[in-house]
């Protein structure tokens, strides 16, 4: 991380000839609770030691200059001409500026350089790391005194409106509220959270990246959201106070199954079951019952694969390979799905074998090398140097 910080600092100073504010904005993991956030349900994410580093300084005019170390590209605009680009990465930055302007906050332009080791588009929410990082930086540079929840909501709106993905709140929320060795159970209806310890020395979290990035992820994501909304509308005829799948239980779904489109029913059943699993998984954590926790991760994967249908052959392959290694307590796809990565909970003694066997199986079946990262649960977005 030291090296990365120095690289970003030096790029900034060389390009912009001034001293920056430096901050770290992490990628996130999610232990369980997938596709539940936009249904006002529960999730259990944490921030990781994989980070984007930002070097940023306020300008006195409305100009904006960005530099991406990862793409080695410069982008220049100003606050009155924010626009979507072919490059995509500038959109995550511009989207946040756009939201701050729309909300009426008094900001000026910025000079900014950033880069990091969160796999881009790899399911650890590199996009939220950009958006939340920029929101945090603007708040600090322009002394806006906004709280973390407000920043998370602005970052989410940037993604929804500027980038065009109707993502939920989980990624930005976890990015901003993360703590070392603790995951957060977020109640995505009331936007409150509780911390749960997750720092067992005998366990590791392993992220296995398929290396596959699919455009389908965003189109199908929005389709899933609409299916959930359709399910809610079907039940609202009987339960007028019902607002989201958060208010639904399996009995209600079963009673009215005949009135559902069968696909929509499956989607809703998954969400209801996944919400229950998050509750039970949190109880497992309090009892330090990681075997039971791991089984719930497996169940979550099956639900994502068969009911919600957002997994992919490559994700399934990684999960199956991981699950066959002794000492792996649980494994499932993580994030939106279709490509991206899996998360596995692994005993320390099994890490090497995991790496060898999962890589070999993936290489054998696909001809590709998966990127395998052992990650730690770390602090959320923070200032490194002012
Ligand atoms: C993406 C979205 C999140 C969440 C997950 C699925 O990461 O950005 O809001 O919906 O997918 O759990």
**Atom number, ligand 1, closest to the C-alpha of residue 165:** 8
Q: What pLDDT is recorded for position 39?
A: 98
Distance in angstroms (rounded) separating the CA atoms of residues 128 and 322: 27
Give the H or E element holding residue 51.
strand 45-58
Q: What pLDDT is recorded for position 213?
A: 80
**Atom number, ligand 1, closest to the C-alpha of residue 34:** 12
Helix, strand, coil in percent for the chain, rounding step 5:
45, 25, 30
Give the H or E element holding residue 96.
helix 89-102
User: In CATH, what number does 203-375 get?
Assistant: 3.30.70.890
Domain ranges of the chain: 2-197, 203-375
pLDDT in tens, 294-307: 999 999 999 999 99
**Atom number, ligand 1, closest to the C-alpha of residue 127:** 8
More confident residue, 218 or 308: 308
**Atom number, ligand 1, closest to the C-alpha of residue 33:** 12
Cα(76) to centroid of ligand 1, in Å? Answer: 30
Q: What pLDDT is recorded for position 217?
A: 67
Whose alpha carbon is nearest atom 9 of ligand 1? 168
**Atom number, ligand 1, closest to the C-alpha of residue 36:** 12
Percentage of residues in the chain with pLDDT exceeding 90? Answer: 95
Whose alpha carbon is nearest atom 11 of ligand 1? 336
CA angle 132, 138, 142 (to 5 degrees): 155
Q: What pLDDT is recorded for position 199?
A: 87
**Atom number, ligand 1, closest to the C-alpha of residue 128:** 8
Burial of 288 (0-12, 13-18, 19+ CB in 10 A): exposed
Q: What pLDDT is recorded for position 119?
A: 87
pLDDT in tens, 15-65: 999 999 999 999 999 999 999 999 999 999 999 999 999 999 999 999 999
Positive or negative CA dihedral for 319, 324, 327, 330?
Answer: positive
**Ligand 1 cavity residues, CB under 6 Å:** 34-35, 37-38, 125, 167-168, 170-171, 335-336
Cα(6) to centroid of ligand 1, in Å? Answer: 31
Whose alpha carbon is nearest atom 8 of ligand 1? 167
Q: Is 145:13 a contact under the CB 8 Å cutoff?
A: no
Q: Does residue 1 register a pLDDT over 90? A: no
Q: What pLDDT is recorded for position 243?
A: 97
pLDDT in tens, 191-225: 999 999 998 999 999 999 999 887 666 789 999 99
Cα(342) to centroid of ligand 1, in Å? Answer: 14
Q: Does residue 76 register a pLDDT over 70? A: yes
User: What's the rounded mean pLDDT across residues 253-281?
Assistant: 98
User: What's the rounded mean pLDDT across residues 98-122?
Assistant: 95
* CATH match of 2-197 with 3.30.460.80: no
Cα(58) to centroid of ligand 1, in Å? Answer: 31
Residues 6+ apart with CB under 8 A from 117: 4, 50, 51
Cα(124) to centroid of ligand 1, in Å? Answer: 10
Q: What pLDDT is recorded for position 216?
A: 63
User: What's the rounded mean pLDDT across residues 219-241?
Assistant: 95
Cα(336) to centroid of ligand 1, in Å? Answer: 5
Distance in angstroms (rounded) separating the CA atoms of residues 150 and 145: 10
CA angle 142, 168, 4 (to 5 degrees): 55
Whose alpha carbon is nearest atom 7 of ligand 1? 335
Distance in angstroms (rounded) separating the CA atoms of residues 13 and 19: 6
- Catalytically active residues are 171
Q: Does residue 237 register a pLDDT over 70? A: yes
Whose alpha carbon is nearest atom 1 of ligand 1? 336
Percentage of residues in the chain with pLDDT exceeding 70? Answer: 99
User: What's the rounded mean pLDDT across residues 124-145?
Assistant: 97
Q: Does residue 120 register a pLDDT over 90? A: no
Q: Does residue 122 register a pLDDT over 90? A: no
Mean pLDDT for the chain overall: 96
Task: Using most ligand atoms within 8 A of CB, pick from 32, 46, 129, 335 the residue to mutate for ligand 1.
Answer: 335
Cα(106) to centroid of ligand 1, in Å? Answer: 30
Task: Using most ligand atoms within 8 A of CB, pick from 35, 43, 214, 315 the residue to mutate for ligand 1.
Answer: 35
Least confident of 52-66, 118-132, 181-195, 324-338: 118-132
In this structure, the dihedral spanned by the alpha carbons of residues 27, 372, 44 and 350, taken in order and rounded to 10 degrees, is -140
Distance in angstroms (rounded) separating the CA atoms of residues 175 and 133: 8
């Amino acid at each position: 991380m030291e090296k990365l910080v120095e690289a970003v600092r030096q790029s900034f100073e060389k390009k912009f000839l001034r001293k920056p504010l430096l901050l770290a904005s992490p990628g996130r993991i999610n232990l369980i609770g997938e596709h539940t956030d936009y249904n006002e349900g529960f999730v259990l994410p944490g921030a990781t030691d994989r980070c984007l580093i930002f070097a940023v300084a306020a300008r006195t005019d409305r100009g904006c200059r960005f530099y991406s170390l990862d793409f080695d590209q410069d982008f220049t605009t100003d606050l009155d001409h924010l626009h979507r680009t072919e490059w995509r990465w500038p959109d995550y930055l511009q989207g946040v500026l756009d939201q701050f302007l729309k909300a009426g906050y008094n900001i000026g332009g910025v000079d900014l350089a950033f880069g990091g080791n969160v796999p881009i588009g790899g399911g650890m929410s590199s996009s939220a790391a950009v958006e939340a990082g920029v929101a945090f930086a603007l708040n600090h540079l322009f002394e806006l005194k906004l709280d973390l929840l407000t920043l998370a909501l602005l970052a989410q709106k940037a993604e929804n409106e500027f980038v065009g993905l109707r993502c939920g709140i989980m990624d930005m929320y976890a990015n901003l509220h993360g703590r070392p060795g603790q995951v957060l159970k977020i109640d995505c209806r009331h936007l409150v959270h509780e911390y749960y310890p997750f720092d067992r020395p005998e366990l590791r979290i392993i992220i296995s990246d398929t290396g596959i990035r699919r455009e389908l992820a965003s189109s199908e994501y929005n389709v899933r959201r609409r299916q959930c909304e359709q399910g809610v509308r079907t039940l609202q005829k009987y339960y007028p106070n019902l607002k989201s799948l958060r208010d639904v239980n399996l009995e209600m779904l079963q009673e009215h199954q005949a009135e559902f489109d069968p696909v929509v029913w499956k989607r809703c059943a998954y969400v209801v079951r996944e919400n229950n699993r998050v509750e039970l998984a949190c109880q497992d954590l309090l009892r330090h019952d990681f075997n039971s926790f791991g089984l719930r991760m497996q169940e979550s994967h099956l639900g994502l694969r068969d009911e919600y249908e957002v997994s992919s052959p490559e994700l399934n392959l990684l999960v199956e390979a991981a699950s066959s290694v002794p000492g792996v307590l649980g494994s499932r796809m993580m994030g939106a799905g279709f490509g991206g990565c899996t998360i596995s909970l692994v005993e320390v003694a099994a890490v090497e074998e995991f790496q060898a066997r999962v890589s070999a199986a993936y290489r054998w079946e696909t001809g590709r090398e998966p990127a395998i990262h052992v990650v730690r649960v770390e602090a959320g977005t923070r200032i490194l140097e002012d």
